Amino acid sequence: MSSAEPRTVGPDHLWSVDEHLEDVLTTVRPLEPIELHLLDAQGCLLVDDVTVPVSLPPFDNSSMDGYAVRTADVSGASEEFPAVLDVVGDVAAGSAEPLHVGPGQAARIMTGAPLPPGAEAVVPVEWTDGGLGGGPVGAMRARSLHPEGAGGHVRVYRPVEARAHVRAQGSDVKAGDRVLKAGTVLGPAQIALLAAIGRGTVRVRPRPRVVVLSTGSELVQPGERLGPGRIYDSNSFALTAAARDAGAIAYRVGAVTDDADTLRSTIEDQLVRADLLVTTGGVSVGAYDVVKEALSHVGDADEPGGGVEFRKLAMQPGKPQGFGTVGPEHVPLLALPGNPVSAYVSFELFVRPVIRTLMGLPDVHRPTVRATLAADKALASPKGRRQFLRGTYTDGEVRPVGGAGSHLVAALAQADALIVVPEDVESVEPGAEVEVILLG
Amino acid sequence: MSSAEPRTVGPDHLWSVDEHLEDVLTTVRPLEPIELHLLDAQGCLLVDDVTVPVSLPPFDNSSMDGYAVRTADVSGASEEFPAVLDVVGDVAAGSAEPLHVGPGQAARIMTGAPLPPGAEAVVPVEWTDGGLGGGPVGAMRARSLHPEGAGGHVRVYRPVEARAHVRAQGSDVKAGDRVLKAGTVLGPAQIALLAAIGRGTVRVRPRPRVVVLSTGSELVQPGERLGPGRIYDSNSFALTAAARDAGAIAYRVGAVTDDADTLRSTIEDQLVRADLLVTTGGVSVGAYDVVKEALSHVGDADEPGGGVEFRKLAMQPGKPQGFGTVGPEHVPLLALPGNPVSAYVSFELFVRPVIRTLMGLPDVHRPTVRATLAADKALASPKGRRQFLRGTYTDGEVRPVGGAGSHLVAALAQADALIVVPEDVESVEPGAEVEVILLG
């Protein structure tokens, strides 16, 4: 897929996990950036450096509720010998009224309000009588109830140095500073910063829209009656949830019956809202594996770059896999096997990294650790295939849950890790060190 | 709030961080469970044990694409001397047609299809001629293109043991098994299991609906023009994003002006969609701190249990805090200070644990670690107050970013940790061990 070169591997080539993953990840490109409102950009990757248009704070302002004063007027002030100043008015946060503090004057000022011309510092209200004439107070009286507080006199009991309790213009950031680098993932604090510098929108790589559909005539919607020979569809639910967990906007399409035309038209319908398509089932060697049959003819078959290739991978579970692009827009499609554990493990190994690549994120893979195998007996693994067993990981130890069977959903639901057994290993003894993929 | 006992602490009591947190968390109760569709329950806490109504698999079925046979018919089969069997038809997944395999007969069977009566094992298609008469094949031919494959003869080249390639009914889970415990948080694999056992809905504690509003006449919506003395509203964006990160459904209400009636009616309007209210600003000692003024009269003041109490906390940033319940439903409300860093730190310390308590989650707090302080000079911290400085944490080391000022949003956006300096510590030397809260 990734190259215009003719393939050097034939249809019977057994792909390694790494070969398949490389082919997939070199084909998929990050989504084009779009401009989003701040809260829609949460979790997304910033594509441009962000510089500051206007310094923060935009003006000198008070860090306390108190009185804006001239320092000379309060030098030497004490509880015994307070400085007594004329209050010329209030400076509230958001206030745009011009107010000047002259010699012997003070302005009552609120946290965040601009330091008025003439004033050099702020005296916290707790160092004053709050205009009440009765010793130090704990708080101002509410303006709405006591409008007279904005006038009269105030006693100040302590001196202040110039600039005390004043946040200088530009002390947070200065106009022209680069405050966020391209490639930053936007969390709450980065969104706070973007809002604080006045950005209502931001250019990011959007979350990919992932369409998940399962295939199989045996599948019944959970909650409905299970007829003979039928099972409940679990893959479309599990992979929709997993796609969201990976950062995608995921759309679950109900299970599609094993009919090539139905599947083809369903996929064609879904293309309009898909940055990535994920199917489960119908990729193996059976006579009803319609995903294979259907997917070579989706969208405009004459377009170069289209088509899905079906492969055998040297892994367990997850041997049969399909990958390619469909439709005129070459939407990537991963066709996963239908056994629930195979589908889930394949999602973790291949689809999650694709979603994160589409988002442009730096770390597309789950973290891995080395751990000691805690097990009652040796684990057997098929020669020549990389095995991914389900396990639970705690403090450097990993314990298998359930067996190797790819239908063991209950054990999967207990697992928080995958134990990796390499291709050349057929048995792992208890106490041995193994590689573990942490799922959570 | 938590107790009907009269308070033993007066209005001037300086609350410790732990006292305030305990008061908040003992007041807040987990939300009542509701029945949700599986994908709406992602990330939520299961409130009941889940037992299996019907065994999985519900019937013996094939783990391979191949032929269902009687073992005696293929014993001793080899490439040189294959067993030749009559193919009586196809058993596809989802097939409910009765089909019986008698002596000398085989049924072509697909992965997941029920083992037909009479058959004892499955021979993989790769061990047969696939009905084509030309040696071992790699796959079946598609039924839609070659319907004759469901009849004729098949050559089998290897014997199989009884039950080979058959998944036994109940081998995953048996009817009556408890497969998920109450208290499990539902991720993709747990959702897979619920779907697999036929559960279309599940009873969980829902995500809390958190209404976030900022207050301040100085606040301007990002993207609009900034007049003199005004700043952009960042808190409502930051805390909405943080509430979502904590697991909530968050609603951002625009900044409300410093007018008690407006604030009160806004809060009353929002109560209908709020499991939790978070405000910022207006909680300090200024003359325009209308949150204080407004919040003692929200909803039905005659109802017991209502009312918001305003406190001073022995912490920096975040000294002024309000907490209580409002309205006839006693919706919890946290009134945070308005400085952006104070609001964010207060959210992390108090609101995030409330959201996770409402969800019933077991771990309501961020993880903490011990780390070595990497700094050029000693950190100063106010006596008697627990300080939370912003820092970056890597490999056991934490480095402060920015200073202690609660207006330093740019530094906050670089931080991934909070450095905790205890109440009785006034200076921390470089190289000292400190407690660190990991934010991410």
Claim to verify: residue A214 and residue A348 sit in the same structural domain: yes
User: pLDDT tens digit string along A149-199?
Assistant: 889 999 999 999 999 999 999 999 999 999 999 999 999 999 999 999 999
CATH number of the domain bearing residue A101: 2.170.190.11
Whether A8 shows a pLDDT value over 60: the answer reads no
What CATH number should be reported for the domain holding residue B193?
A: 3.90.105.10
Query: Cα separation of B344 and B364, whole Å?
Result: 17
Q: What Rg value do the Cα atoms of chain B yield, rounded? A: 33
Q: Within its chain, how far is the Cα of B147 from the centroid? A: 49
What pLDDT score was predicted for residue A134? 87
Please give the pLDDT value at position A306: 67
* Overall average pLDDT of the B177-181 stretch: 96
Q: Collapse the DSSP code of A431 into the 3-class scheme (helix H, G, I; strand E, B; otherwise coil) and give the result.
A: coil
Q: Cβ separation of A229 and B167 shorter than 8 Å?
A: no
Question: B356 in helix, strand or coil?
Answer: helix
For A241-299, write each residue's pLDDT tens digit. 999 999 999 999 989 998 889 999 999 999 999 999 999 999 888 888 889 888 865 55
> DSSP labels for A111-155?
TTPBPPTT--EEEEGGGB-TTSSSS--SSPPPTTT-GGGGSSEEE
- Sign for the CA dihedral angle at B123, B124, B129, B135 comes to negative
- Out of A56, A233, A410, name the one closest to residue B172 (CB): A410
Nearest CA in chain A to B177: A410
Q: What's the pLDDT at B145?
A: 86
Per DSSP, A240 falls in state H
Tell whether B189 is covered by a domain. Answer: yes
**Of B87-91, B96-100, B343-347, which gets the smallest average pLDDT?**
B96-100
In a domain, B95, yes or no: yes
CB A226 to CB B96 under 8 A?
no
Q: Is residue B4 part of a domain?
A: no
Same domain, B179 and B48: yes
From the list B223, B233, B285, the residue facing A139 with the nearest CB is: B285
pLDDT bracket for residue B3 (50, 70, 90): very low
Q: Interface pTM (ipTM) of the complex?
A: 0.93
Q: Quick one: how many helices (H) and strands (E) in chain A?
A: 9, 29
- Same domain for A210 and A287, yes or no, is yes
Check pLDDT > 60 for residue B302. no
Distance of alpha carbon A419 from its chain centroid, rounded?
26
Same domain for B305 and B158? no
Clarify whether residues A248 and A288 are in a common domain.
yes
More confident residue, A227 or A418: A418
Cα–Cα separations (whole angstroms), residue B215 to A332, B16, B83, B232? 46, 25, 84, 12
Closest partner residue to B39 (CB to CB) among A38, A195, A241 is: A241
Task: Give a yes or no: residue A174 inside a domain.
Answer: no
Contact A39 B240 (CB under 8 A): yes
Contacts of A317 in chain B (CB under 8 A): none
Distances, alpha carbon A8 to alpha carbons A296, A319, B246, in Å:
20, 20, 49
- The reported pLDDT for the residue numbered B246 is 97
pLDDT tens readout for residues B6-23? 445 566 789 999 999 999
CB A344 to CB B194 under 8 A? no
pLDDT digits (tens, 9 = 90+) for B125-156: 999 999 998 889 989 998 888 988 889 999 99
Buried b (16+ CB within 10 A) or exposed e, B146-165: eeebbeeebbbbbbbeeebb
Nearest to A190 among B217, B260, B413 (CB): B413
Instruction: State both tokens at B54.
Output: 């019907």
Q: Which of B111, B132, B180 to mutate to test the interface with A (most CBs of A within 10 A)?
A: B111
B337 & B399 share domain = no
* Number of residues that this document lists for chain B: 440
pLDDT for B4 equals: 41
Closest approach of A24 to chain B, Cα-based (Å): 23
Q: Do B189 and A412 touch (CB under 8 A)?
A: yes
Mutation pick from A407, A416, A437, A438 vs chain B, by most beta carbons of B within 10 Å, is A407
Q: Are residues A191 and A47 in the same domain?
A: yes
Give the mean pLDDT of chain B: 93
Q: Quick check: A110 and B288 CB within 8 A?
A: yes
Encoded amino acid at A232, one letter: Y
Same domain, B270 and B349: yes
CATH no. for residue B406? 2.40.340.10
User: Do B136 and B267 fall into the same domain?
Assistant: no
Compute the distance between CA of residue B357 and CA of residue B210 in angstroms, rounded to an integer: 13
Task: Quote the pLDDT of residue A198.
Answer: 96
Is residue A397 over pLDDT 80? yes
Q: What is the pLDDT of residues A202-219, one digit of tens each?
A: 999 999 999 999 999 999
Enumerate the residues of chain A whose CB falls inside 8 A of the CB of residue B286. 65, 110-111, 125, 139-140
When CB atoms are compared, the residue of B179, B229, B244 closest to A96 is B229
Give the per-residue pLDDT at A274.
98
> Do B224 and B333 have their domain in common?
yes
Q: What is the band of A318 on the pLDDT scale with cuts at 50, 70, 90? A: very high
A172 in any annotated domain: no
pLDDT at B136: 92
Note the pLDDT tens digit of each residue in A355-385: 999 999 989 999 999 999 999 999 999 999 9
**Substitution target from B115, B231, B418 for chain A, most A beta carbons within 10 A:** B231
| Closest CA of chain B from A403, distance in Å | 10
Cβ within 8 Å, pair B94-A230: yes
Residue B5 lies in a domain: no
* Higher per-residue pLDDT: A304 or A132: A132
Task: Answer yes or no: do A196 and B126 touch at CB < 8 A.
Answer: no
Contact list in A for residue B340 (CB cut-off 8 A) is 192, 196
Q: Give the model confidence (pLDDT) of B349-406 as tens digits.
A: 999 999 999 999 989 999 999 999 999 999 999 999 999 999 999 999 999 998 888 8
Do B322 and B375 fall within a single domain? no
Q: Please give the pLDDT value at position B11.
A: 65
In terms of residue numbers, what domain contains A121? 61-167
Residue B303 is predicted with a pLDDT of 54
What gap in Å lies between CA A23 and CA A327, rounded to an integer?
Answer: 19
What is the mean predicted confidence (pLDDT) over B243-268?
94
Residue A350 DSSP class:
I
Residues of A in contact with B112 (CB under 8 A): 216, 218, 231, 338-339
- The 3-state DSSP class for residue B248 equals coil
- How do residues A295-305 score in pLDDT, each as one tens digit? 865 555 555 55
Residues in chain A: 440
* A47 within domain boundaries: yes
Number of domains in chain A: 4
Say if residue A230 is in the same domain as residue A307.
yes
Cβ within 8 Å, pair A188-B238: yes
pLDDT of residue B5: 43
A11: CB partners within 8 A, 6+ apart: none
Residue that wins the pLDDT comparison between B41 and A133: B41
Q: How far is residue A324's CA from residue A189's CA, in Å, rounded to a whole number?
A: 38
Contact between B56 and A126 using a beta-carbon 8 Å cutoff: no
Cβ pair B190:A440 closer than 8 A: no
CA B338 vs CA A46, A123, B231, B281: distances in Å: 27, 20, 12, 4
Listed residues B117, B137, B167: the one ending a domain? B167
Residue A2 belongs to some domain of the structure: no
Question: Which residue among B205, B227, B256 closes a domain?
Answer: B205
